[in-house]
Amino acid sequence: DAEITQSPRHKITETGRQVTLACHQTWNHNNMFWYRQDLGHGLRLIHYSYGVQDTNKGEVSDGYSVSRSNTEDLPLTLESAASSQTSVYFCASSGGDEQYFGPGTRLTVT
């Protein structure tokens, strides 16, 4: 069965370190998305991609970057982790309308 996976599931890092969260999907979807979810804010879009070599900024993109070198993967990099980036991160993919989400990565920045 097709799926979308994220790794690691939990991560603790220190302020200022670079962190990369992995997202891998086997749906063969062109569209992939990264969200963060925080209490009181719901899901907020960080970056998204409509295909290989395509990346776009979402509403909360500062301090984050993504790259898309193949259809299956969209890694999210925090260039210099800040305490404000402590959150739960979800990756999603879509072939058109509805999105399919990964299990999430809980990131704590100390």
Cβ proximity to other proteins: between 16 and 103 the closer is 103
Cβ proximity to other proteins: between 85 and 105 the closer is 105
Q: Based on the shown chain and the rule CB under 8 A, indicate whether residue 1 belongs to the binding site for other proteins.
A: no
For the chain, where are the E strands, in sequence order? 4-7, 10-13, 19-25, 31-38, 42-51, 54-57, 64-66, 76-78, 87-94, 100-101, 105-109
The residue type of 39 is: L
Q: Based on the shown chain and the rule CB under 8 A, indicate whether residue 31 belongs to the binding site for other proteins.
A: yes
| Interface residues toward other proteins, by CB under 8 A | 31, 33, 40-43, 45, 48, 50, 58, 90, 92, 94, 96-104
